[in-house]
Amino acid sequence: MQPQQWWLWAGFIVFVLMMLALDLGVFHRKVHAISTREALRWTAFCIVLALGFNVAVYFIYEHQWLGFGAPTEHRPRLDGREAAYQFFGGWLIEQSLSVDNIFVIALVFSYFCVPPHYQHRTLFWGILGALLLRFPMILAGAVLLNKFHWIIYVFGALLIYAAVKMLLAGEDSVEPEHNPLVRIARRFFPISSHFDKEHFFTEIDGRRVMTPLFLVLLVVESTDVMFAIDSIPAVFTITKDPFLVFTSNVFAILNLRSLYFALAGTMSLFRYMKQSLVFVLAFVGVKMMIEDFYHIETALSLSIIGGILAVGVLASLVASRRGGRPGGDRRSPDESQEADGDTNPPQMQAYADD
């Protein structure tokens, strides 16, 4: 990475932090439950923002601003059109894989009986943590791919393994007592059995204790790390450019929160999305494994991935029409709990310290 490129990296990170500050400090300053209509508006805004940035990517790489897209010893010239394809492909993969993450987040909220009006704050800090954690992971992945070409086969095998594991996995479950972050946190702070408004910590008998909301944050954060282990290598199959990998990840993650609230009440409609994601992971894994022998153009990759996702959505919609409410008894957090600030998760009684 050329020294002058850090200016664009820094500018992009400042822009993202400003967006997050406006989100929490202005638009969602008052704690409230996010309605489906509000979530759909924010989802549309995040998509338009990502597509607008995609246009900016075209001009940045087409004109080689600050050296972006210029040829190096590791890769040839990357023009604006190809860079725009790669950004969009990375964003599409990350956004589609986040759907499975949304299912897990819904289970976590349901397990801890998190009131709907506290979920936005929890996801906000979870997303901020995800951005901070993914930045070094992406840079490390880019360095490894540049220095050790054989890592491409490791990433490909990892994606194929992830596809097989997702295919064979049963129903998702939440076991926070086995979460390493939760175990570490319990060594430093006792745990309360009840919420204290939107606070992550509270005081009981003069002791500073964690609320269940902080445990939810830890579980969401660790879940994102596990998903990142699959999704980041998947994006590297589309582009090896760390700036495109990072920015496409960021825009997908920024949309994760609003997408969760938009889909929370309709998750049972996406019966075959997991199968689609299995094929997406398998395809990008195979693509990475055969890269040295046969190169699949980015535009063709986008068409294949888009086709796989479209088949999954259409099949889910057809199944939902024929079978009513498919997908077992998955319920959104709004359906499985009351919007009550005094809701206490009964599961917390088993290992709370107060």
52 in any annotated domain: yes
**Which two structure tokens, joined as six digits, stand for 292?**
């040295």
Task: Evaluate if residue 18 carries a pLDDT over 80.
Answer: yes
Task: Evaluate if residue 13 carries a pLDDT over 80.
Answer: yes
Confidence of residue 220 (pLDDT cuts 50, 70, 90): confident
**Which two structure tokens, joined as six digits, stand for 158?**
């990892």
14 in any annotated domain: no
Per residue in 174-198, pLDDT tens? 666 677 777 788 788 888 878 888 8
Residue 282: its pLDDT value, please? 92
Arithmetic mean of pLDDT, 136-151: 87
Closest CA to 317 of 279, 283, 272: 272
Confidence of residue 171 (pLDDT cuts 50, 70, 90): low
Residue 286: its pLDDT value, please? 93
Residue for token pair 């490390």? 140
Instruction: Decide: 256 and 129 in contact? Cβ < 8 Å.
Output: no
Higher pLDDT, 315 or 75: 315
Supply the pTM of this predicted model.
0.84
Instruction: Decide: 217 and 200 in contact? Cβ < 8 Å.
Output: yes
317 in any annotated domain: yes
227 in any annotated domain: yes
Residue 333: its pLDDT value, please? 45
Task: Evaluate if residue 57 carries a pLDDT over 90.
Answer: yes
203 in any annotated domain: yes
Task: Evaluate if residue 84 carries a pLDDT over 80.
Answer: yes
Distance of CA 340 to the CA centre of its chain: 28
* Per-chain mean pLDDT for the chain: 83
120 in any annotated domain: yes
Residue 326: its pLDDT value, please? 43
Higher pLDDT, 209 or 350: 209
Residue 328: its pLDDT value, please? 43
3 in any annotated domain: no
Higher pLDDT, 153 or 146: 153
Instruction: Decide: 231 and 214 in contact? Cβ < 8 Å.
Output: no
- What whole-number percentage of the chain has pLDDT above 90? 23
How many structural domains is the chain composed of?
1
3 state SS of 343: coil
Per residue in 250-270, pLDDT tens? 999 989 888 888 886 666 667
207 forms beta bridges with: 204
Per residue in 281-339, pLDDT tens? 999 999 989 988 888 888 898 899 899 989 988 888 888 787 654 444 444 444 444 44
**Which two structure tokens, joined as six digits, stand for 146?**
């540049």
- Distances 102 to 65, 153, 234, 310 between C-alpha atoms, Å: 36, 29, 18, 18
19 in any annotated domain: no
Confidence of residue 351 (pLDDT cuts 50, 70, 90): low
Per residue in 93-115, pLDDT tens? 999 888 778 888 888 888 888 88
3 state SS of 85: helix
Task: Evaluate if residue 223 carries a pLDDT over 90.
Answer: no
Higher pLDDT, 322 or 41: 41
Per residue in 23-32, pLDDT tens? 776 666 777 7
Full residue range of the structural domain in which residue 333 is found: 38-350
Q: How far apart are CA 339 and CA 38, in angstroms?
A: 17
Confidence of residue 203 (pLDDT cuts 50, 70, 90): confident
